Structure 1
Amino acid sequence: MSAGWVAGVTRAEAMAAARAGPATARGLAAAPGLPDALRALAATPYRRGIDVEAGIAEAQRAVTDALVWQLRVLAGWQPRPGSAAVRLLASPFEIANTRSRLRAMSGASQPPPYRLGALSTVWPRLSRSGSPAELRAELAASPWGDPGSDAPTAMITAMRWSAAARTAANLPAAARWAAGEAALLWARETFVAGRRPATRHAARLLGTAAVRATAFDEFRARLAPPAKWALEGIERPGDLWRAEARWWSTVERDGLRLLHEARFALTPVVGAVAVLSADAWRVRAGLECAAHGGRALEAFDELLG
């Protein structure tokens, strides 16, 4: 046991315990309007940057910004292996920044990038890229790996595959989540968007038989065991939103278990990232419901199972 792990795990447990939680999120969803819901966030970790006059997009962005800040704080308390784990699990934010950068290159107005600090893998270099080809070259020279194309959509999809593969390889406690996310990604790309992903990671994460499938039912049936759970009971691609909601619920449930498995080691830190991330996802969903005057409360309850 080291002092670094004692401090890091203690901080992880405290931050997870302070999350908003399901009851608060449902209270947000039941609010008569978005300003009421935003006022309720004043007593939660999401109060940072909240403007009660904000629209739904700005409010949800503020929640995500608060999560990024939480993960930066969490990473800062960890010894080196813990910081690396938090950084890897925070990959979606570097992917989001990269997507915005690519869109800005085409002239589209974009929100400011997430302030990643120590959560960044190579974002400072990516942010200075002047063209998709330059950005691809930076990715190829980094842990993200060569996306195989400088088409913006292909690069973002490749980054998601890279994050899933590296998570499965380096964080055993999160490998099941990575495999499940990969199953959802392949299903959306292939059976909703009509794009056949070209990635060297798919067969390892999903199984060779699954990636050769040409129909959704066949794909679901042939998934490798670590990924199969993500699509159980999902009969058609149009229901993938239910699978995504279940993925988040599973990540949170597993994260709560991991928080209590090993006292002073990496596992509780991985659990804390899962719990904090799932909490922010649920709060964003609650705000979306509030923005519709609570009329979507039934859908919110279904979303959370």
Structure 2
Amino acid sequence: MLWHLRVLAGWQSRAGAAALRLLASGFEIANVDDHARALWGTEYRPPVRPYRLGALATAWPTLSEVGSAAELRAALASSEWGDPGGDSAAAVAVGMRIAAAQRIAAVVPQAVHWAAGRLALLVGREVFLAGRTLTPPSARRAARVLGSEAMGSPAFADFPRRLPVTARWVVDGVERPMDLWRAETRWWMRLQQDGRDLTRGSGLDSSPVVGAVALLSADAWRVRGALELAARGGGSLETFDALA
């Protein structure tokens, strides 16, 4: 998938390449996740070869060179990612994901509902399922997309109804935070359907490119899930059939 995105970016205008860089930011986040765990030594993992991002990198060449958790936070703070608000591996992981969603919502109009929905899922899991408090910088970024009223929800029951329309759709009808996995499936289903619709458009803007990224992402998610099911001895493919 990353290789296809790098090739696709090479055919874009500067603005189009910038949008693709944002939509592909999950690869850079994955690189930083592995690097942060290594710096913290939180768990033993065999060395992981980082994704080769090429022109899709935002700050990875600099981030890959830092040698401590404090240096990683400082490097993020001085980059487009912004300060995650903490130097733990968890603060960095959550902070970068919130920053990515906020930036995508601000820059890629076709992806506003995806970014807002993804952010609602992330905040729902972190705050109401895991019981963790977001760092102040991450909370402020999330509020720019989800609104301060939603971010101030005292309980999960209040969270969905306080969300803006761009995000409410993904958790509509979800009554308990432990059922957010169902909302995530809904998110992927919308990503694929929206991607199909965007690639069928006849306009001259970047919509077909954004749609292609969505379809590649949904396909990669389905394949990864199918491989996981196979590794566990098989199981129901109902979720993946729904996406076909």
Confirm or deny: 8 A CA contact 1:164 1:179 kept in the other structure: yes
- 1:218-297 pair list within 5 angstroms: 218-297=158-237
1:158 aligns with 2:158: no
Aligned to 2:66: 129
Displacement after TM superposition at 1:241 (Å): 1.1
Displacement after TM superposition at 1:298 (Å): 4.4
Q: Secondary structure at the match of 1:253?
A: helix
What is the TM-score with the length of structure 1 in the denominator?
Answer: 0.74
- 1:15-164 pair list within 5 angstroms: 67-107=1-41, 108-109=44-45, 110-164=47-101
CA 301–220 in structure 1, closer or farther in 2 if over 3 Å, else same: same
Q: Output the CA distance in 2 between the equivalents of 1:121 and 1:133.
A: 19
Deviations 1:125-173 (CA, angstroms, capped at 9, x unpaired): 0000101111111111111111122122112211111111110111111
Q: Output the CA distance in 2 between the equivalents of 1:78 and 1:135.
A: 31
Confirm or deny: 8 A CA contact 1:81 1:266 kept in the other structure: no
Aligned to 1:203: 143
Displacement after TM superposition at 1:297 (Å): 3.1
Higher RCO (CA < 8 A, seq sep 6+): 1
Confirm or deny: 8 A CA contact 2:185 2:239 kept in the other structure: no
How many residue pairs get matched? 238
Deviations 1:273-301 (CA, angstroms, capped at 9, x unpaired): 11111111011111222223433334654
Q: 1:167 aligns with which of 80, 104, 122?
A: 104
What is the TM-score with the length of structure 2 in the denominator?
Answer: 0.92
Please tell me the root mean square deviation across aligned C-alpha atoms, in Å.
1.7
Q: Secondary structure at the match of 1:149?
A: coil
Q: Which has the larger radius of gyration?
A: 1
Q: Output the CA distance in 2 between the equivalents of 1:144 and 1:125.
A: 12
Runs ≥4 residues deviating over 6 A? none
Displacement after TM superposition at 1:77 (Å): 1.8
Confirm or deny: 8 A CA contact 2:40 2:89 kept in the other structure: no
Aligned to 1:188: 125
Q: Output the CA distance in 2 between the equivalents of 1:295 and 1:139.
A: 41
Deviations 1:197-228 (CA, angstroms, capped at 9, x unpaired): 23211222112221111211111121111110
Q: Output the CA distance in 2 between the equivalents of 1:258 and 1:215.
A: 36
Identity %: 56
